[in-house]
Structure 1
Amino acid sequence: MNSDDLSIFALVADSGSFSAAALAGGVDASSISRRVTQLEKQLGTRLFHRTGRGVSLTEQGTALLAYARQIRETLAAAESAVSSNAGLGPSRIRIAAQPTIARTVFGDLYHVLHRKFPHSRLQFTEGLASNVLAELQAGTVDIAILYRPEYPGSTSYEPLLLERLYLLTPPGFAMTQERVDSHGLQGIPMILPSTHHGIRVFVEAMAARRGHSVQLALENDGSNAITASLVHKNCGCTVLPLAAVPDDIAAGRLRGFPLPGADAERCISLVLGRTELEPATLWALNSAIREVATDLVKTGAWPGARLIDPAATPA
């Protein structure tokens, strides 16, 4: 048993799951799971109870955690004492998000990160998921906040919150919440992006699970503002989160009807890039983003969203 083993053990204990610990530590979940298993074999005891909702400490794990944190704090203090750059943080932090998320999060996130990393240059990027994922792979973005796609592939998405989708209609469109609850999107003329966009795939899969197809009125690959304008001009209806069109809803230019069912919520997640940031910095970024998301949801500034407990995610 060495300090690295104890550091990984403490990271999992604090994160509540192997997947959350992997994102915070900038390594694969399988590597973390393997190191913890090796530590348990070496000590001859179970340190975690493993469930589909994450992990929790055993009695022996709770006892070890106190020592692991003590060692971690001692090492951090030693590093701080001898480092000429102690407390300065990384030279640059690069965060990307899809447009609706960026609009909702970036302003508040700036202030939190500026407090935590006053000497770091902050770089925010807005883009479509395909572009952001390419930047993550290229190492030009450290961490991203993205909607988890219907078919995520091999990319690891660490859940942050759930955001309900709404049917958006023109003010005079004949629609009631009862109609949406009973028939969903069936028979409604829809304005959606072309098929390679995530929301289009998500909506079509959701409709298929309800036994009907989407009636397409128009394909629009422009911004959410353009889509909202097309809906307002009676070109059709669309599906978006409320956070994408708060001003249009408030001004009565659009009406919004929440789509029913757990599968009508999109999962907003954190995705780690090929970053050179230290694990401690990644942990602080993860915490900062979660802090901002929590405040936005609790204050109602992120309408239609609800938080996900990291301890409730799969290990």
Structure 2
Amino acid sequence: MDLKRLELLMHVADFGSFSKASTVLGLAQPALGRQIQKLEEECGVRLLYRHGRGVTLTPEGTTLIERARPLLRQLIAIPSELQSELASPRGSVTVGLTPTVCNLLGLRLIRALKQKYPLLHVNVISGYSGYVHEWLVDGRVDLAILHDARRSSTVAVEPLAGAELFFVSPTARTTFSVPATISLSSIAEVPLVLPTRNHGLRRTLEYAASNAAVTLKVEYEVDTLDLLKEIVIAGLACTILARPAVTKEVRSGVVQINAVDGPKLNTRLVLATAVGRPLTRAVRVVELELAALVKHMLAEEQEETGLFHVDG
């Protein structure tokens, strides 16, 4: 059924006259009449009574208009709804962040999206990089920020920034001596608490240690950041983390951080999406907001965050 002819029939019925409808629509009356006639032929019934005062709908015409009017209204509204969707996307987006990144920009992301896209529902889940990578591939998150992830057949990555890694030690008394000069060789002499080997941070540290021909003394393996920091605060071990992961603890004086002498220890933060999974408009605006937040930090907060520019 021709939707344009249906719309013309509605106008003729509303005005009760071919001549009035013709004037308003800017369509010649004979042409308007032919379109209505073709619609009647298509339906196989008479839709209008013609009389001296104009036209009125037949019972069949009334039924058609009653059925068609709400559908036509919906169809006519689609372009404006699509434009509205572009301006204010809606739906649910799940973002996977590592604990360091969550501390760095999790709250800022929520605030920015709430202000700019009030119809968007955002879920943020946090875990070490290896777990977040699995969630992304499995479809449990729509996009993620990972540590030192590489492009693969399942994940596409876009470098965002580098983050310097610091030696984190307790300020409380310990059963071991914290070295005065922090280098990989001296770090290898103290007990460490680190994530397990399937996470980006641990792989970065193991690679750096191998290049320096030292073996890290890993006393504890913990895949939760809160417990890892508690072990350090308790004086049981030291660790290596990016500055944002321990900002609160440094401010409260329970841990101290030191840059590593010699070649810097760094991790690379990348924005990751699943290969072959179409990105909705909602996911894209979250992706852009994450990139914008990191860009702002690189421009305004490098010293506070320990972030630095990296090449693509």
Q: Which has the higher Rg, Structure 1 or Structure 2?
A: 2
- Work out the percentage of aligned pairs sharing the same amino acid: 18
Partner SS, residue 305 of structure 2: coil
Distance across 2 between alignment mates of 1:226 and 1:141:
24
Structure 2 residue aligned with 1:207: 209
For 1:1-315, list aligned pairs within 5 A: 82-88=79-85, 89-149=89-149, 154=153, 155-171=155-171, 172=173, 173-176=177-180, 179-181=181-183, 183=185, 185-216=187-218, 218-260=219-261, 264-273=265-274, 275-278=277-280, 281-297=282-298, 298-299=300-301, 303-308=305-310, 312-313=311-312
Answer yes or no: is the 8 Å Cα contact 1:100–1:243 preserved in 2.
Answer: yes
Distance across 2 between alignment mates of 1:260 and 1:135:
36
Distance across 2 between alignment mates of 1:189 and 1:131:
25
Taking a change above 3 Å as real, the CA distance of residues 227 and 128 of structure 1, as seen in their structure-2 partners, is: closer
Partner SS, residue 168 of structure 1: strand
Please state how far the C-alpha of 1:160 moved relative to its aligned partner.
0.6
Unmatched tracts of structure 1, length 5 or more: 1-79
Unmatched tracts of structure 2, length 5 or more: 1-76
Partner SS, residue 84 of structure 1: helix
Answer yes or no: is the 8 Å Cα contact 1:157–1:270 preserved in 2.
Answer: yes
For residues 43-97 of structure 1, the C-alpha deviation after alignment (integer angstroms, 9 at most, x for no partner) is xxxxxxxxxxxxxxxxxxxxxxxxxxxxxxxxxxxxx992423223142222111
Taking a change above 3 Å as real, the CA distance of residues 228 and 139 of structure 1, as seen in their structure-2 partners, is: closer
Partner SS, residue 102 of structure 2: helix
Partner SS, residue 157 of structure 1: strand
Structure 2 residue aligned with 1:49: none
- TM-score under structure 2 normalisation? 0.64
Taking a change above 3 Å as real, the CA distance of residues 85 and 302 of structure 1, as seen in their structure-2 partners, is: farther
Structure 2 residue aligned with 1:23: none
- 2:209 maps to a residue whose letter is A
Partner SS, residue 192 of structure 2: strand
- 2:192 maps to a residue whose letter is M
Please state how far the C-alpha of 1:283 moved relative to its aligned partner.
4.6
Partner SS, residue 84 of structure 2: coil
Aligned length: 226
Answer yes or no: is the 8 Å Cα contact 1:192–1:220 preserved in 2.
Answer: yes
Distance across 1 between alignment mates of 2:206 and 2:238:
14
- TM-score under structure 1 normalisation? 0.63
Taking a change above 3 Å as real, the CA distance of residues 158 and 261 of structure 1, as seen in their structure-2 partners, is: farther
CA RMSD of aligned residues (A): 2.8
Please state how far the C-alpha of 1:108 moved relative to its aligned partner.
0.6
Point out which structure has higher relative CO (alpha carbons under 8 A, 6+ apart). 1
